[in-house]
């Protein structure tokens, strides 16, 4: 499986390790979770931006309270 290397200062790594420990996760699991979550969030937002004009067009004639 491919790996990603990230350069962190000693202080940054200490903060990340402490946060991961507080969450009961390994630093590696936390890093994977954050990377995948952010990529999924960006993909969702892109899809929502694409769908919004279509959704607004579909309800443009609906009464105000039903839009």
The 10s digit of each residue's pLDDT in 3-58 is 899 999 999 999 999 999 999 999 999 999 999 999 999 999 999 999 988 988 89
Are the C-beta atoms of residues 19 and 30 closer than 8 Å to each other?
yes
pLDDT of residue 49: 92
pLDDT of residue 64: 82
What is the phi-psi region of residue 24: left when phi exceeds 0, alpha when psi lies from -120 to 50, beta otherwise? left
- Whether the pLDDT of residue 67 is over 80: the answer is no
pLDDT of residue 56: 87
pTM of the predicted model over 0.85: no
């Amino acid at each position: 499986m491919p790996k990603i290397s990230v350069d962190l200062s000693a202080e940054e790594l200490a903060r990340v390790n402490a946060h991961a420990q507080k969450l009961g996760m390994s630093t590696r699991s936390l890093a994977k979770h954050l990377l995948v979550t952010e990529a999924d969030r960006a993909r969702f937002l892109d899809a929502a931006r694409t769908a919004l004009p279509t959704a607004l067009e579909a309800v443009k004639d609906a009464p105000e309270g039903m839009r």
